[in-house]
Chains A and B, each alone.
Chain A
Amino acid sequence: METMAIKKLFQVVLAWASLALALVSAPASAEFGHAGPAANAADGILVQFRASTL
């Protein structure tokens, strides 16, 4: 009985710890003052080739 209670308590503590961790590590909203994409989010890559490749 006592072991079960300890297990339950441990699970509750673990759940709260996970929630706290998730909140702390959540990505910040856009730096520009509104709920936009996370900072440094990207849509692919821009590649500038050297003129010699033309």
Chain B
Amino acid sequence: MKRQQSILNLAGGKQVARLGGASGRLAHMQVISGRTLDQTLAILARNPDVEFAEPNYILSIAALPTDPQFSQLWGINNTGQTGGVPDADIDAPEAWDIQKGTNIVIAVVDTGVDYNHADLSNNIWSNTREIPGNGIDDDGNGFIDDVRGWDFANNDNNPMDDNRHGTHLAGIIAAQGNNGVGVTGVNWSARIMPVKFMNAAGAGTTATAINAINYAVRNGAKVINASFGGGAFSQAMFNAINAANNAGVLFVAAAGNNGRNNDAAPTYPATTICPTLFRLLPRTAPTRARGFPTSVLARLILPLPALRSAAPCLTQSSQRVTHRSAVHPWRPRMSRA
């Protein structure tokens, strides 16, 4: 460990955090020498003891549609209520005739989740191995009293949403169905694990995102929803996504809502190529006229070359006041007039 500290000192840096615990090999450092970030990266890259060094990118939430018409949830069941094509939707009612949902654990790695929301509270993941409020890390996972997840932005056990983005996503995924309240998520009974790493302004970093991903994987999530992006390719992020993959966790990343082709203009982490990373590429911009600046529809891309094809995919909508929302699979023929 002293050797690592000496490497950072030589590069003019100071360690501020160690990812993956004290014995982890990944460190977050700040430059204190007065050199630029690029100069410091160049120094570190020349050191044979350094596997890689990269900027700790600032990540931010994917923009949300703010059009109140989205509250009509045409994506779930399109009757033409917003002027779109009837039945241009995900056929959710038809799917619910067969299966209304399971209790699979889905981590919303985002700005937190309003776990008290009437439409969400019954579907919030609970860490049953932890005794609430006793100040002890009962399950020995390194986090004290993490009954409902963790807040890596503030490093505490209260992943309450102070932005609204994460709650919006959670509602899309698993707002409780058939309860006479608000809306219905695609999965009526999934367990949402709130893992907060972005602050009230909707910003976080690669380092906090990796911590959040690692937490979700180690605590039983089977799917990670990553509706954020920014920076450039990150080897550290790639490694974290790969580790999730190896643990059997599906990592779903938004490709942004700016209508760009991500093959031409990469967006990370969505453009990161991992076997089970689903990246969601914008396809059309049906709501531009209503104020949402970029696309809503998306096509799901399986990034392995052999699997690369259009398929049912995910998208999102929102309702400004009640945080109602939807991230759900679209049929390939989806379109709106």
Contacts and interface: CB of A to CB of B under 8 A. Distances in A.
Q: Give the interface size bracket for B toward A.
A: 35 or more
A46 B26 contact: yes
A32 B228 CA distance: 7
B202 A36 contact: yes
A46 B54 contact: yes
Given A31-B267, A36-B203, A47 B258 contact: no
Interface string B22-48: 010111111100000100110010001
Nearest to B206: A46
Contacts of B25: 48-51, 53-54
A34 B63 CA distance: 5
Contacts of A45: 13, 28-31, 37, 40-41, 44, 53-56
A48 B26 contact: yes
A52 to B, nearest CB: 7
A44 B52 contact: no
Nearest to A37: B58
A32 B229 contact: yes
Nearest to B210: A46
A42 interface: yes
A14 interface: no
A48 B235 contact: yes
A39 interface: yes
A30 B236 contact: no
A33 interface: yes
A42 B55 contact: yes
A40 interface: yes
Contacts of A32: 60-63, 228-230, 256-258, 267
B7 interface: yes
A43 interface: yes
Nearest to B207: A46
Interface string B221-258: 00000001111101110010000000000000000111
Nearest to B51: A48
B256 A31 contact: yes
A35 B23 CA distance: 37
Interface in A3-38: 30-34, 36-37
Contacts of B30: 44-45
Contact of B63 (A33, A37, A42): A33
A16 B51 CA distance: 49
A40 to B, nearest CB: 6
A47 B37 contact: no
6 contacts: A30-B60, A46-B19, A48-B51, A48-B235, A54-B4, A54-B25
